[in-house]
Amino acid sequence: MRRILSAVVISTLALSLTGCAAGFNAATRDISQVTDGAEASIISTENNIRVVNLLVVAAESGTGVLVGTIVNAQEAEDSLLGVAINGTVLTYTGKNNLPQNSPIIFEGERANAKAVITGFGAQPGTHVTVTMFFARAGEITKDVIVRDNTEEYVGITSSPAPQPQP
């Protein structure tokens, strides 16, 4: 009897301590965002646009610089027509066509596009509304955080994007 009782107690402790008995609503099953950047998508039978790590950096002289990546996973090519922050259209340069799995990257070593807003008054730590307009997919609107120009964003400026290497 002691052996059976010991086995039951050990099994109960093992299940409760490892969380295996928590079921389908276990806290460990919840996926949380690990970056500051927001994610958005337009997914339908005709479109598969994904935007990842989207945020705005408050750069020098009251400018805001868009950071993020856009990927089209659909065979049909799309294109980015423009970007707006809080209803104000950004100055956009660089790649705007979106063939399948050929991303538009704002900022970083592999950047191939640049989107800048002048007269940007939002403070770091606040949120702004970013809207992206696509030729086929329509538009994506997402609230994103404004980061200051420090830490991993220290090199982000409103200067034109370097031309990508072939």
How confident is the model over 42-78, as pLDDT tens digits? 999 999 999 999 999 999 888 999 999 999 999 999 9
User: What is the structure's pLDDT at 127?
Assistant: 96
Beta bridge partners of 71: 50
Amino acid at 41: S
**One domain for residues 100 and 131:** yes
User: What is the structure's pLDDT at 32?
Assistant: 58
In a domain, 114, yes or no: yes
In a domain, 161, yes or no: no
**One domain for residues 80 and 139:** yes
**One domain for residues 12 and 92:** no
Whether 32 and 39 have beta carbons less than 8 Å apart is answered as no
The pTM for the full model equals 0.76
Structure tokens at 28: 């460990």
- Higher-pLDDT residue of 7, 164: 7
Supply the DSSP string of 14-45, one letter for each residue.
HHHHHTGGGGGG-GGG-----SSSEEEEEESS
Residue-range definition of the domain harbouring residue 26: 1-32
Per-residue pLDDT averaged across 118-144, rounded? 94
Query: Whole-angstrom Cα distance, residue 137 to residue 77?
Result: 10
**pLDDT greater than 50 at residue 148:** yes
Whether 47 and 73 have beta carbons less than 8 Å apart is answered as no
In a domain, 17, yes or no: yes
**pLDDT greater than 70 at residue 26:** no
User: What is the structure's pLDDT at 10?
Assistant: 78
Domains identified in the chain, total number: 2
Structure tokens at 72: 């089209």
**pLDDT greater than 70 at residue 38:** yes
**pLDDT greater than 60 at residue 34:** no
- Burial class from Cβ neighbours inside 10 Å (0-12, 13-18, 19+) for residue 36 reads middle
Q: Rounding to the nearest 10 degrees, give the CA dihedral for residues 78, 83, 84, 90.
A: -160
**One domain for residues 27 and 107:** no
User: What is the structure's pLDDT at 165?
Assistant: 47
Ranked by mean pLDDT, the top range of 19-23, 27-31, 103-107 is 103-107
Give the pairing of strands 97-98 and 64-72: unpaired
